[in-house]
Amino acid sequence: MNAVATLIAPRSTVLDESAVLSARAALVALGADAGQPDWLAPGTACDLPFGNLAPEQAEAAIRHALAGAALAAPTLDVVAQPAATRRKRLLVADMESTIIEQEMLDELGDYVGLKDRIAGITARAMNGEIDFRAALHERVALLKGLKEEVIDEVWQRATLMPGAAELVATMRANGAVCVLVSGGFCCFTGRVRDWLGFDDDRGNALEIVDGVLTGRALEPILDKDSKLEALLAYAGEHRVPMAETMAVGDGANDLPMLLAAGLGVAYHAKPTVAAEARARVDHGDLTALLYAQGYRATEFRNEFHGAPGRQP
């Protein structure tokens, strides 16, 4: 069988056998050859091997079957894909609202009393309603006059997205290259890189003169095209076929790289992004990306030593 569908439940939900059997029956009803369920984590994640059916048809059929059977479908994630290349050798990850829970520019805005205004611009840009580059310049301009040391204070607010440590540690332990490519700022991407052990990071730069933010972001601006270019560049540098790459992000500026990657995952993404991405995780945490690659829960690693520059 040349394909596999993975059913994944978030931590608050139990994936039971009846849901798996309903999903398998839906594949058989469409004429697929369906193998026996293979549990990657009891009650949490299960593989369904299949053949003679396109992955996108399989995913749609499973989602429809679970919804029709009222088997908690709204709280399950489903990823269907070719089996041969599901284990990825390159991860390119967005940072904000993906690897960490915050949007750090919004948090900086809190120090000038404009968090809600900046967050509103961020939300519109991430949903593709306004141009990312213009939105970035508009938000950074509002930070003019902020002292540089505020960056260290804001860094204390950063928290990891659940499953982030396991995702990076497990993939790296199995030989994958993991890089962080963010439309945010390198004053934070470098710290997250060191926190989790990413191999590399890319981000934008804030202009700082005499210890004060000028309200300008330095060119070149890392945008949606730059993210796609980074994916292609890292794949070429490490000789990884595109089929063996994974990208993950939540915003409109992530979409080009999500569509180009072997498996592009819209993670708790904005509606326009979730609608276009080939795979999406709406409910689970980042360990869903490991289950999608066929890792078992017993294979997960979690190795990091605290965040650089953070207070104990």
Tens digit of each residue's pLDDT (9 = 90 or more) over 81-90: 999 999 999 9
Are 75 and 103 part of one and the same domain?
no
Q: What is the pLDDT at residue 304?
A: 64
| Model pLDDT, residue 12 | 85
Domain C-terminal end among 49, 65, 82 = 82
Are 21 and 142 members of one domain? no
Predicted confidence (pLDDT) per residue in 98-116, tens digit:
999 999 999 999 999 999 9
The pLDDT score that the predictor gives to residue 222 is 95
Distance CA 16, CA 45 (A): 10
Task: Give yes or no: residues 105 and 232 share one domain.
Answer: yes
User: Does one domain contain both 250 and 287?
Assistant: yes
Instruction: Note the pLDDT of residue 74.
Output: 58
Q: Is residue 209 part of a domain?
A: yes
Q: What's the pLDDT score for residue 54?
A: 96
**Beta strand ranges found along 116-272 (DSSP E):** 177-185, 200-209, 212-218, 245-249, 263-267
Q: Which domain holds residue 63?
A: 3-82
What is the pLDDT averaged over residues 251-276? 96
Proportion of the chain above pLDDT 90, given as a percent: 89
Q: How many residues does the chain have?
A: 312
Average pLDDT over residues 161-182: 97
Give the pLDDT confidence score for residue 307 in this predicted structure: 74
Domain count, the chain: 2
Distance in angstroms (rounded) separating the CA atoms of residues 121 and 128? 11
Range 147-161 average pLDDT:
96
Q: 11 and 118 share a domain?
A: no
Highest mean pLDDT among 10-14, 46-50, 73-77, 128-132: 46-50
What are the tens digits of pLDDT across the range 287-298?
A: 999 999 999 999
Q: What is the pLDDT of residues 185-229, one digit of tens each?
A: 999 999 999 999 999 999 999 999 999 999 999 999 999 999 999
Q: Is residue 45 part of a domain?
A: yes
To which residue do tokens 């995702």 refer? 167
Q: What is the pLDDT of residues 123-150, one digit of tens each?
A: 999 988 999 999 999 999 999 999 999 9
Does position 274 have pLDDT exceeding 60, yes or no?
A: yes
b (16+ CB within 10 A) / e for 134-159 = ebbeebbebbeebeeebbeebbeebe
Name the pLDDT band for 238 (thresholds 50, 70, 90).
very high
At residue 60, the pLDDT reads: 95
| Same-domain pairing of 94 and 78 | no
Q: Is residue 266 part of a domain?
A: yes
Q: Are 295 and 170 in contact (CB under 8 A)?
A: yes
Name beta bridge partners: 246: 91, 263
- Average pLDDT of every residue of the chain: 94
Instruction: Work out the pLDDT band at 303, boundaries 50, 70, 90.
Output: confident
As a whole number of angstroms, the distance between CA 145 and CA 210 comes to 11
In a shared domain, residues 234 and 137: yes
Distances (CA, A) of 240 to 20, 47, 193, 227, 236: 33, 25, 21, 17, 6
pLDDT at 70 (0 to 100): 55
312 pLDDT above the threshold of 50: no
pLDDT at 306: 66
**What confidence score (pLDDT) does residue 109 get?**
93
Instruction: In whole angstroms, give the CA distance from residue 103 to residue 95.
Output: 9
Contact yes or no for 247/234 (Cβ under 8 A): no
Please report, for the domain that includes residue 62, its CATH number: 3.30.70.260
pLDDT at 72 exceeding the cut of 50: no
Q: Which residue from 249, 245, 254 is spatially nearest to 267, judged by alpha carbons?
A: 249
Distance from C-alpha of 182 to C-alpha of 192, rounded to nearest angstrom: 11
Contact in structure between 93 and 180 (CB atoms under 8 Å):
yes
* CA separation for the pair 207, 196 (Å, rounded): 26
pLDDT of residue 308: 73
